[in-house]
Amino acid sequence: MDFEIPNNDFEGFNRQAEKNSAEKKFLEEFREEGTCFVKTHPLGFFIYAQVEGCHYEEDRETLERMFNDGYIFCRAFSEVCHEGDLGSIHISKIAARISGPGFFWARNNRWPSILTRELQGFVLSTNPTETLGF
CA angle 90, 94, 96 (to 5 degrees): 150
User: Which tens digit of pLDDT belongs to each residue from 59-69?
Assistant: 888 999 999 99
Residue 131 vs residue 108, higher pLDDT? 108
Band of the pLDDT at 24, cuts 50, 70, 90? confident
Bridge partner residues of 86 (DSSP): 75
Cα separation, 115 vs 120, whole angstroms: 7
Contact 73, 59 (CB under 8 A): no
Confidence of residue 56 (pLDDT cuts 50, 70, 90): confident
Q: Is the CB of residue 71 less than 8 Å from the CB of residue 58?
A: no
Q: Where does 21-129 show beta strands of DSSP type E?
A: 36-40, 46-51, 71-78, 81-90, 94-98, 123-126
Domain ranges in the chain are 7-126
pTM of structure: 0.82
CB atoms within 10 A of CB 134: 18
